[in-house]
Chain A
Amino acid sequence: MAIPYFPGCTLSTKASGYDRSGRAVAQALGLEFQELPDWQCCGATFPLSTDNAMTLIAPTRLLRQAQEAGGQMTTLCAICFHVLRRTQNFLQEHTDVLERINWFTEEPYLGQVRVTHFLELLRDQLTWETLRANVSQPLKGLRVAPYYGCLLLRPPAEIQLDDPDDPHILHECLEALGCEVITFPYQSECCGSYLAVSKPTVPQQLAQDILASAQHHGAQALVTACPLCQYNLDYPQQSVRGWAIKPLPVLYFTQLMAVALGLPEQVWGMEGHSVDPRPLFEPYRATVA
């Protein structure tokens, strides 16, 4: 089945490992990602004030491309997903704003596209049972802590992906891969987001709290769906002086899927990580046939 796919800027640059592993696992599961033909930045933030609709032009141009591609679109990046899902909802309710935006984008968007996160696609269309049946290298005994962050869950009324206080979707995905899944209290605390640029000490402190809590609960790795969370949690571990926490790999869920589905190491996309996660997978390497 072909699925229109929006990678987003970060997945084509800094988080290319997320993109590579995501495309590979989708293909292995019979879901062919079909990249939107000429995508641009989604805008990266959803406009929160009432008179700032101009900011919706960028995500609307993408929804319009998805409209051409069949009315559905999936993303891996939690930020792009957040922006696109909220735009989709907002424009369904506010047809006056849609009309105005269409004047800017020059190509009418009809307001009917459905944006999904890849996790949602796995849960609702593929189902966890099918995923489980495709696992050839179960990650038995690997203790991983799902880290949800903010944008995948909140605000729940608009995102409607999972329970914001007791989320399960990453848990279920990792359980299907055979992992031992650990719940820890910081699983949906904010990582500091864009403050990484203007006020890096804030995310660095938050990252230490999050990583320390996960380690305290016995995690060998943290698993996320957001490239900014991955950066804020992984990157300072090697670059900040006086870092007090033991190294803890921070992975994308698609990378664990790639290992569990027995895909070759070239598609795991783990070489760019600050804390190399690959030693964790020595026991689970697919034996070459």
Chain B
Amino acid sequence: MSLDFHEQITMLSNQPILLCYHCHKCTAGCPVVEEMEFGPDRILRMVQLGERERLLKSRDIWLCAACETCGTRCPNGIDIAKVMDALRLEALRSGVTPAEPDAAKFHKLFLFVVQTLGRSHEASLLIAYKLWTLNLLADMDSGLQLFVKGKVPVLPKSIKGRDQVRRIFLKSAEAVAKENLPSANPASAQEAK
């Protein structure tokens, strides 16, 4: 346990976490709380108490869809989605294996596709994701349906400023390296290659 953890998350999220008096409005309205281990208000309590390990390893931080229902309802004006994002970032930066590894893989692949094409392309993205997560059979038939219905074009389209986009990705990776910020950022997407 460390008290610094609370300060660190407060800074990263810029939210007054100590103001939470556990009225449970956030948890009552959370659309994914049934899948969670703790739920939003207990997560705030755990941040207050500095329970770093349990939080960073928790699946809850990866289940939050950032729908902002909790933050809109909070009587103390705590934007809990920001706290969740700070926890995810801290988990990635400390090298904790995400409790929902597939979510982290999708995140990396998405950046990789954008870095390559400048735009997202669902077909390439989904195929790569299926390969990487070895989850080939799970809704492949539905993927095929999307092709048949013409929802996902087979070939990706790129943009003229592709070189500029790549350059931006490289520059930001360099900046991250120079400032020694372990990143949740583009360079790591190279692993997807």
Does B68 contact A202, Cβ atoms closer than 8 Å?
no
Within 8 A of B (CB), among A177-221: 189-190, 192-195, 197-200, 202, 205-206
Q: Which residues of chain B are within 8 angstroms of A193 by Cβ–Cβ distance?
A: 65-67
The stretch of A46-54, A67-75, A123-131 in contact with B is: A46-54
Does A47 contact B35, Cβ atoms closer than 8 Å?
no
Does B118 contact A49, Cβ atoms closer than 8 Å?
no
Does B32 contact A150, Cβ atoms closer than 8 Å?
no
Contact string, A12-39, partner B, CB cutoff 8 A, digits 1/0? 1111100000000000000000000011
Taking the complex as formed, is A160 at the interface, i.e. its CB lies under 8 A from any CB of chain B? Answer: no
Does A40 contact B118, Cβ atoms closer than 8 Å?
yes
Does B12 contact A50, Cβ atoms closer than 8 Å?
yes
Q: A194–B153 Cα gap in the complex (Å)?
A: 20
The stretch of B20-28, B37-45, B46-54, B139-147 in contact with A is: B139-147
B66, B85, B86, B153 — most chain A CB neighbours (10 Å): B66
Taking the complex as formed, is B152 at the interface, i.e. its CB lies under 8 A from any CB of chain A? Answer: yes
B88 to chain A, nearest CB (A): 8
Q: A51–B9 Cα gap in the complex (Å)?
A: 11
Interface of B is mostly: helix
Does B103 contact A198, Cβ atoms closer than 8 Å?
yes
Nearest neighbor of A50 in chain B, beta-carbon distance? B14
Taking the complex as formed, is A154 at the interface, i.e. its CB lies under 8 A from any CB of chain B? Answer: yes
Given contacts A13-B121, A192-B65, contact A155 B176 (CB under 8 A): no
A52, A151, A198, A199: the one contacting B89 at CB < 8 Å is A52
Taking the complex as formed, is B119 at the interface, i.e. its CB lies under 8 A from any CB of chain A? Answer: yes
Interface residues on B, range: 35 or more
Number of interface residues of A (CB under 8 A): 52
B86, B151, B172: the one contacting A49 at CB < 8 Å is B86
Does A41 contact B171, Cβ atoms closer than 8 Å?
no
Given contacts A40-B119, A41-B119, contact A154 B69 (CB under 8 A): yes
B110, B142, B165: the one contacting A40 at CB < 8 Å is B165
A48-B85, A104-B175, A194-B103 known, 18 other contacts, Cβ within 8 Å: A13-B153, A14-B151, A38-B161, A44-B110, A58-B114, A106-B168, A150-B65, A154-B67, A154-B68, A154-B69, A155-B72, A155-B79, A164-B72, A190-B32, A195-B63, A197-B103, A198-B103, A206-B31
- Contact residues of B with A, CB < 8 Å? 11-14, 31-32, 34-35, 62-63, 65-69, 71-72, 79, 81-82, 84-86, 89, 100, 102-103, 106, 110, 114, 118-123, 126, 129, 139, 141-142, 145-146, 149-153, 157, 159-161, 164-165, 167-168, 171-172, 175-176, 181, 184-185
- Contact residues of A with B, CB < 8 Å? 9-10, 12-16, 38-41, 44-45, 47-52, 54-55, 57-58, 61, 104-106, 150-151, 154-156, 164, 189-190, 192-195, 197-200, 202, 205-206, 235, 238-239, 271-272, 274
